[in-house]
Structure 1
C-alpha cells in the first residue's frame, strides 16, 4: 500500500476531503468531533447515542454527512492511554479507511491536548505509516492501493520525522522479508552501497580481504557457503566535531542452516530473518543520513551464510579471532557470535566510544522473554540505561538481563581460549552468549538479543507477518534526533 501522510494547520471541519475522522474517547466525542458535529447539525452525536457507540480502541462508525462522510474512531478508555495507543490507533485507522475504500481522508490529531501536538502527531503518523506496510514484491498480482491522509492541526516537523523513521523501519522489513536466494551476502552489500547516494561512506570487503585482515572467527563460519561473505562498513560523519563515536553492529547471517549442527526443518523456515540485526543497523544509517545527528555513527555487518559443504567448519574446529583469542567450536549453530566477535573487535579498533550490537542470537532469549521483548545485556550501566530509555521512547520493548560473571567459567575451553557454547548444559544460554561477545571489547557495549521480536509469523498491531524492523526506532531515539 502507498500511504502519504501530510500535516495541516486547519481543523478537521475546515479541510475538504471525502472522509473526516474524529475521535471518541471515553465514550465522548473529542473537541474536534464536537465542532464537526455542530457543523452537521448533530449528525455524529445522534448516531453515537442511538447506536450506543462506546469507542473501544479501533472501533469505528461511519456516518453520512451530506456529500461526504464522518468516521467516528474509538480511542478506548481514558485510563491507561499512552503514545503506544496512538501508534496502534494510526495503524488501525489506515486499515479501516482502506477497507472502506477511501483514497483520501482527513483525521484529527488524536489526543494532542493530552500528549502535546508534537508527540501526538509523531506517534499517530508513525503508526499509520508502519501499519500500511506490505511486501508484495514476489506476488504475481500484488494489491496496489493508494491513500492520502491529512492530519489536522498537527506538527509538520514531527510528521516529517515520522516519515523518515517509518521509511527506515520498512526498509529493514524489506531486507528481512527478501528470500535468501535473493538476499545473499553480496546482495546485502550492494543494498548497503546504495546508501552512498545519501552521503554516507560505504566500504565492502570481499572474502580475500576478510581473510587477509585476520577476521578468522567470522570467515570460519562463512567458508562453507558457495555465496562468499562480505564485510560491510557504513560511516556517517557530522559537520564539525562529533559529540562521540557510536558503533552499530548487526548480525548479518543471510541464511542459517545451523551448519553441521543442523537445525530441524521447522526451525529453518524463518532463518532468512537471521540478518534482522544487520537490517536494523543499515536502516538506521538510512535514517541517520536524513536526520543528521551531531555524533559520528559507524555501522558494521559481517554478512555470511551458515551452510554445509566439504569446506564448512566443523564441531571441534578451533578458530582464531581478530582479537587474537582462539575459539573452540562446540556447536556450529552458535555461528552468529563468532561473526559478531570479529565485527565488535574491529569496531573497537576503529575508535568507537561505545558499541551497540543487535542480533537474532539465541532461542534461549525467546524462551525467557517471548516474542515481543528483546533482551538487553550491557557491560556499562550508563549505556545500558540509555538504550533502555531510548527503546521506551521509541515504543519497542526491551528488558535488561545480567552478564553474570560467575558464569564466565562455562566459556573456558581446555584446548583454546574460549568455546562458543557452554557445552551440554542448556542453562543461561542467552547470558552465556552475551558474555562471549563481551570478551571482544573493553568499550561500553550493549548487546540486544532481538531473536523474539525481529520476526513474526502472525500479523501484529503495527504491521503484517514477517520482518518487524525491530531495533530501528530504538537506535534512532538513542541518537537523539
Structure 2
C-alpha cells in the first residue's frame, strides 16, 4: 500500500474513487458540497432520495457523476456534525477504506482527513488514517494453501489536507505508517499457530524483521546462557516443553550510547496450555496468542526503527511454552528467581509472571529510565475491564500518567488500577518468600503486586493486555495492540518533535 499526502481541490481530483463525508440529516461535508456544486446538484438530489442519512457506519458508492473527473465517489456517514470526534472519525475512516477496497478501485483520494475532528489536528487525522488503513487492509494468509489475491487491489491512497496543514501532516503520516506496519507485524506473529511460532521462530523473526536498522542490535540468549543468569523462575516454566527457551534482547541506539534507555519487556509464551494446571479444552487454541506482549514489543521496535527517534530503547522478551509434562512445574514446587527471591508455585497456569519477574531483574543491568512490561497476563483483567482498555498498574505515578496520556493520543487506551500494599498479603506463602497467585479476588492487581516485588530499583509500569491483544468470535485474531500506546509513549519522551 502506497499512502501519500496531497493538497488539491476535491472537484479537480482525478482518481478511481473520491472519499467524502456526509453528516446526519443528509448534510454533506465541505468536500461533498464542492462535488455537489461541480456536478450540478447531483449529490443533493441523491441524498434527498433517502439512500443514506449520514449516520455512522453508512456508505454509498456513486459512479460516473457528471462534472466530476473521478470514476467513483464514496459518501461516508460521519454522524452528527456537532459530535464529530476521534471515535466517529475512526469509524468513518475504517468503513471507508473497507468499502473502497471491496469496490475494486485501484487508488483513492480521501478527504475525510481534511474534516475538523473535535480536539484533534489535521496531522493527527492523517496519522490515524494511515494507521487504520494498514489495520483495515491486513489479511492473514500465511498458513492457507492458496493465498487470496484480490482482482483489483487498492494499491494507492492519497490523504488530502489543506496546504496549511501539509508540513505537520507529513510527520503524522510517518508516525501512522510506522505504527500501522508495526501493528501488522504484531498481528501476523499473534495469528500464527503454536507449531509455527515457537520461541525459536520468534527469535528468528526478531532478527529478520529488525536487522535492516543499522542502529538496532538483536541478541538471542539460549538455554545455557539463561541458566548461567540463574533465571530459575523463567526456566521452570520452560521445563515442560521440548522447545528450548529463548531470551531475546534488542537494543536501539538513537542517541549517545551512554544515555540511559527506556526498557520494554514482553511476555513471550508462544503456547500456554496451563502446564499441570491445564486449561479447559474450549478455546485453548487461542492460547497461541499468549505471546501477545512479546509480539507487541517487537512491533513497537519496528515502529521505532522506522521513526528513528532520538532516544535509546532496550526490549527484553522471555520466550517459551507452558505445557504439561513429566518434567513440568508442579503445584507446590518452589523455584528461585534471578533476584534470589523464592516462589511457591500454587498454580502452573500463572506462568507469565514467572518469566516476567526474571526479565525485570535482568533489565536492571541497563539502568533504564523506565521499564514497561506488557503481557496477556490475567483473565481477571477481561472480567474487570472488558476488551476496550488495557489494565495499567505502576509503582511510579508520573509514568502511569504518561502512559494514560499516550493511550488517549493513540486511541489505544489504558485504565489504571490500584497497586496498594494491602493486596500484597494475598501472596503470602508458608514455604517460600511468596506464592505465584493470590486467590480469586483482584487477580489482575495481585499479579502486578507479584511483579512489583522485582521492581524495587525501577520506575516500572505493567500493561495487562489480555482483553485487548486478541479478538474472539467471528473476527478472531490478533489486534496489533499495544503497539500504538507503547510507540506513542516513547515518542512523547522526545519533546515536541513528534507532537501532533
**TM-score normalised per structure 2:** 0.91
SS in 2 for 1:270: helix
> In 2 relative to 1, CA 389–237 (structure 1 residues): closer, same or farther, beyond 3 Å?
same
Instruction: Give the CA deviation at 1:52.
Output: 6.1
Partner of 1:135: 140
Partner of 2:490: 479
* CA contact 2:260–2:367 (8 Å) conserved in 1: no
Q: Does 1:411 align with 2:416?
A: no
Partner of 1:125: 130
Q: 2:211 aligns with which of 172, 196, 204?
A: 196
Structure 2: gaps (5+ residues): 492-497
Structure 1: gaps (5+ residues): none
Instruction: Give the CA deviation at 1:412.
Output: 1.9
Instruction: Give the CA deviation at 1:326.
Output: 0.7
Partner of 2:363: 347
* CA contact 1:11–1:152 (8 Å) conserved in 2: no
Moved more, 198-207 or 102-111: 102-111
Partner of 1:20: 18
Post-superposition CA distance 1:274-294 (Å, at most 9, x none): 000000001101111111222
Moved more, 267-276 or 136-145: 136-145
CA separation in 1, counterparts of 2:88 and 2:28?
A: 17
Partner of 1:43: 42
* CA contact 1:8–1:151 (8 Å) conserved in 2: yes
Partner of 2:442: 428
Q: Which has the higher contact order (CA 8 A, sep 6+)?
A: 1
Post-superposition CA distance 1:162-212 (Å, at most 9, x none): 111100001000000010000000110001112122221111111111011
* CA contact 1:83–1:123 (8 Å) conserved in 2: no
Instruction: Give the CA deviation at 1:349.
Output: 2.8
Partner of 1:161: 175
CA RMSD of aligned residues (A): 1.7
Partner of 1:446: 461
Instruction: Give the CA deviation at 1:111.
Output: 4.9
CA separation in 2, counterparts of 1:375 and 1:266?
A: 25
SS in 1 for 2:321: strand
Post-superposition CA distance 1:135-173 (Å, at most 9, x none): 011222332232022222363332232111100001000
Post-superposition CA distance 1:82-101 (Å, at most 9, x none): 22322222221111112222
> In 2 relative to 1, CA 309–52 (structure 1 residues): closer, same or farther, beyond 3 Å?
closer
Moved more, 88-97 or 330-339: 88-97
Partner of 1:178: 192
CA separation in 2, counterparts of 1:362 and 1:56?
A: 37
CA separation in 2, counterparts of 1:231 and 1:131?
A: 33
Partner of 1:57: 56
Instruction: Give the CA deviation at 1:244.
Output: 4.5
CA separation in 2, counterparts of 1:62 and 1:290?
A: 35
Moved more, 109-118 or 156-165: 109-118
CA separation in 2, counterparts of 1:90 and 1:9?
A: 18
Instruction: Give the CA deviation at 1:215.
Output: 0.7
* CA contact 2:97–2:136 (8 Å) conserved in 1: yes
SS in 2 for 1:7: strand
Partner of 1:74: 77
**TM-score normalised per structure 1:** 0.95
> In 2 relative to 1, CA 50–360 (structure 1 residues): closer, same or farther, beyond 3 Å?
same
Q: 1:107 aligns with which of 96, 106, 110?
A: 110
CA separation in 2, counterparts of 1:293 and 1:434?
A: 30
Instruction: Give the CA deviation at 1:409.
Output: 1.6
Q: Does 1:382 align with 2:382?
A: no
CA separation in 2, counterparts of 1:80 and 1:375?
A: 28
- The 5 Å alignment of 1:170-249 reads 170-194=184-208, 195-199=210-214, 200-240=216-256, 244-249=260-265
CA separation in 2, counterparts of 1:386 and 1:222?
A: 34
Partner of 2:302: 286
Q: 1:296 aligns with which of 312, 330, 348?
A: 312
* CA contact 2:59–2:95 (8 Å) conserved in 1: no
Q: 1:456 aligns with which of 456, 466, 471?
A: 471
Post-superposition CA distance 1:356-387 (Å, at most 9, x none): 01000011111111122211111111101111
SS in 1 for 2:158: strand
